[in-house]
Amino acid sequence: MTEAAAPCILVFDSGVGGLSVARCIHETLPGAELVYLADNAGFPYGDQPEAVVIERCTTLIRKALEEIPCDVVVVACNTASTVVLPRLRSLIDVPVVGVVPAIKPAASRTANRRIGVLATPATVRRPYLDRLIDEFAGDCQVVRIGHPALVCWAEQLVRGIPVPEAELREVLAPLKQAGVDTVVLGCTHYPLLLDALKTVLPEIRHWVDSGDAIARRVQFLLGEASRDPQAITHAKRSEPVRAVLLSGEVPHGLAGFMAALGLTAIRIEERWGGLTDPVRVTGSA
Ligand code: DGL
């Protein structure tokens, strides 16, 4: 099997958070090519109205697929996935994998039935999360935190700016007070903060995110599409990311940050897709 036959997976997020998912996909499917698409001109999605998120994400993903045909699209953003999946699936032929907060696995792991959910301000408010909690964690005490600073701290890591520990401690205080033993990372940016999170809350027994489950789902879909499993899981690429397409500017340090995650990119393009910054409507996300 030659490299030309490798499948291509489009991973989308509002910023660098989807890289936590891309890393899991690459670890599971090292022979696959990745295209990383980020609407960083629209970041953060956690502050945007639903209609803006749906419009921007469908526009960018369709454009990207026109330029680089892919086998699977991964919406590696909880905030977008909670609102965009039906519309996106109606617009494109490629299978779409979304990401939702990992409430079900968290409920199966917690010993004391107390779970923390860290997500964006929009995700913690969405009925989608209420339904997940009712369905899978109805017997648990669930403490939700949707603080807007967390995604920004994750973005700053790219520029080498460390997470402000004292502020993080303050943000996470309700989890400590409630004595949760399991925390759901309900935003794809948060696995990038894991070292700092563990430092601040060393007593947490399980940090649960959705990256590996998404990678397995992608593997399954590629298998269904009869792609050669050997070519996907064995042939390792030294530059697995064929293209990084950003609607905004390239953050300083991005190439090195990606390489440290094992996601070396062949090319990085900024101001891609022709979308300008959205008008912000505070409080109506
Ligand atoms: N990484 C995204 C998520 O999983 C969202 C970050 C944002 O733009 O607010 O929700």
Measured in Å, residue 38 CA sits from the centre of ligand 1 at: 11
Ligand 1 site: residues with CB under 6 angstroms?
A: 13-15, 17, 43-46, 77-79, 120, 123, 151, 187-189
The pick from 12, 14, 52 for probing ligand 1's pocket by mutation, whose C-beta has the most ligand atoms within 8 angstroms, reads 14
The answer to whether 8-99+211-282 and 103-208 have equal CATH topology is yes
CA separation for the pair 76, 13 (Å, rounded):
5
Q: How far apart are CA 165 and CA 197, in angstroms?
A: 9
Amino acid (1-letter code) at residue 66: E
Q: The tokens of 196 are what?
A: 């700092």
Q: What per-residue confidence (pLDDT) applies to 173?
A: 98
For residue 186, which atom of ligand 1 is closest to its CA?
4
Tokens of 285: 């996300």
Closest CA to 71 of 5, 9, 6, 3: 9
Q: Which pLDDT does position 229 carry in this prediction?
A: 55
Rounded Cα gap, residues 147 and 204, in angstroms: 19
Which CATH fold would you assign to the domain 103-208?
A: Rossmann fold (3.40.50)
pLDDT in the model for residue 228:
64
Please provide residue 46's backbone torsions phi and psi, each rounded to the nearest 5 degrees.
Answer: -60, -15
Q: Which of 53, 77, 83, 99 to mutate to test the pocket of ligand 1 (most atoms within 8 A of CB)?
A: 77
The C-alpha atoms of residue 16 and residue 205 are separated, in whole angstroms, by: 26
Q: Where are the domains of the chain?
A: 8-99+211-282, 103-208
Q: Which fold has domain 8-99+211-282?
A: Rossmann fold (3.40.50)
Which residue in 24, 70, 77, 140 is the catalytic one?
77
The confidence score (pLDDT) of residue 284 equals 44
CA atoms within 13 A on the CB side of 110: 26
Q: Which one is catalytic: 57, 70, 140, 187?
A: 187
Side chain identity at residue 181, one-letter code: D
Active site residue 140: no
Q: Write out the E strands in the chain.
A: 8-13, 33-38, 72-75, 96-98, 114-118, 141-145, 182-185, 206-208, 241-246, 268-269
Q: What's residue 277's pLDDT?
A: 82
Using the atom order of ligand 1, give the atom closest to the CA of residue 42.
8
Distance CA 152, CA 266 (A): 26
Query: Among this protein's residues, is 187 annotated catalytic?
Result: yes
DSSP state of 72: E
- pLDDT confidence of residue 155: 97
At 274 the pLDDT is 92
Cβ within 8 Å of residue 136, ≥6 positions away: 103, 104, 107
Residue among 109, 108, 118, 51 nearest 80 (CA): 51
Closest atom of ligand 1 to CA, residue 77 = 4
Centroid of ligand 1 to alpha carbon of 70 (angstroms): 22
CA 36 – CA 22 distance, rounded (Å): 8
Q: The whole model's pTM is what?
A: 0.94
Q: Which atom of ligand 1 is nearest to the CA of 46?
A: 9
What the block records as the tokens of 129 is 């999360």
Report how far residue 88's alpha carbon sits from residue 189's, in angstroms, rounded to the nearest whole number.
22
pLDDT per residue of the chain (285 residues) written in tens, 0 to 9: 444 468 999 999 999 999 999 999 999 999 999 999 999 999 999 878 999 999 999 999 999 999 999 999 999 999 999 999 999 999 999 999 999 999 999 999 999 999 999 999 999 999 999 999 999 999 999 999 999 999 999 999 999 999 999 999 999 999 999 999 999 999 999 999 999 999 999 999 999 999 999 999 999 999 877 666 556 666 777 899 999 999 999 999 999 999 999 999 999 999 999 988 876 655 444
- 124: part of which helix (H) or strand (E)? helix 121-125
pLDDT of the residue at 279: 66
Q: What is the model's pLDDT at position 231?
A: 63
Q: Is the peptide bond before 95 cis (omega within 30 degrees of 0)?
A: no
How many whole angstroms from 138 Cα to the centroid of ligand 1? 25
pLDDT for 199: 98
Q: Are 147 and 171 in contact (CB under 8 A)?
A: yes
Of the candidates 122, 181, 116, the one whose C-alpha atom is nearest the C-alpha of residue 151 is 122
